[in-house]
Amino acid sequence: MLLTWSALFFGLIRGMGHALEPDHLAAVSTLVAENSHRGASRAGLLLGAAWGAGHTLTLFVVGGALFLFRAAMPARIETAFELLVACMLIVLGVRALVRAVREGRNGAAAMHAHGHGHGPATTSHTHAGADDHVHVRGFALARRPLVIGLVHGLAGSGALTAAVVAQLPTPAAGLLYMALFGLGSSLGMAVLSGVAGVPLARIAESRRALPVLLGVSGLVSLGLGIAWGVIHTRTLLT
């Protein structure tokens, strides 16, 4: 019993450490950089939690099914999922770089006024340019990191299942381990994203700094995606 609880606790701690892996950080940090002007730590927490929810869902469903049937994910399929992660990182990086170029060309935000309503009752208000005047609901903001988390969960479910089968032979303990692992990953990424959101939001307030922030995060994501892709393409071809 003590061994089982120790393994479960280790799963929670290991899940938090899992959130610090380079591909996870690159994906979520790029999203946080893109959305840092929408609410600082709150937006970061939402993005990290959404990533964690998707990640936990696929880990639990796919990994749990493999565990219950005592099956192993074929190595080529697992490598294909890793290549999907690489493609996703490349897409996120290119997107961030395109936004960096666009933000750099926009220059300083211009204040302007326009009316709402009809006839003499028309009212006006003044706000920053179109890029700043965007209203995004929580679910719309969270959809992309949720999908990214789902893909990351697919890529990691095979290795996690193999580790769980080696440590916890009973189905209940194995599924609980996976759930705690996913919870740890979710908590770790939500906290990291929330903390990172505050300084990134301050940087994003400057129109000159925002393109640099997007450019750096985009280059990191793009570079890691290419390297990740090359490594796993070689693995797939051998």
Q: Which of 6-15, 21-30, 37-46, 212-221 has the lowest mean pLDDT?
A: 37-46
Residue 19 lies in a domain: yes
Q: Distance between CA atoms of 193 and 30, rounded to whole angstroms?
A: 10
- Residues 119, 125, 129, 131, CA torsion sign: negative
Cα 212 versus chain centre, distance? 20
CB-count exposure of residue 81 (10 Å: 0-12, 13-18, 19+): buried
- Per the structure, the count of domains in the chain is 1
Range of the domain at 68: 12-105+138-237
CA–CA separation, 146 and 231 (whole Å): 25
Q: Look at residue 219 and tell me if it is in a domain.
A: yes
In a domain, 213, yes or no: yes
Given a cut of 70, is residue 71 above it in pLDDT? yes
In a domain? residue 162: yes
Integer Cα distance of 130 and 124 in angstroms: 16
Q: Please state the pTM of the whole predicted model.
A: 0.77
In this structure, of 7-11, 13-17, 120-124, 159-163, the range with the lowest mean pLDDT score is 120-124
Average pLDDT for the chain: 77
Q: How many CB atoms lie within 10 A of CB 89?
A: 27
Of 65-79, 95-109, 141-155, 182-196, give the lowest mean pLDDT range: 95-109
Q: How large is the average pLDDT for residues 141-163?
A: 81
Q: Does some domain include residue 7?
A: no
Please give the pLDDT value at position 134.
36
Highest mean pLDDT range out of 43-47, 181-185, 191-195? 181-185
Of 7 and 213, more confident? 213
Whether residue 229 lies inside any domain: the answer is yes
Residue whose structure tokens are 């209940």: 172
Q: What is the pLDDT of residues 47-70, one digit of tens each?
A: 888 888 888 888 888 888 888 887
115: left (phi over 0), alpha (psi -120 to 50) or beta: beta
- Looking at the domain assignment, is residue 165 inside a domain? yes
**Residue 36 · residue 201 · CB < 8 Å:** yes
In a domain? residue 126 = no
> CA torsion sign, 145 to 148 to 154 to 160?
negative
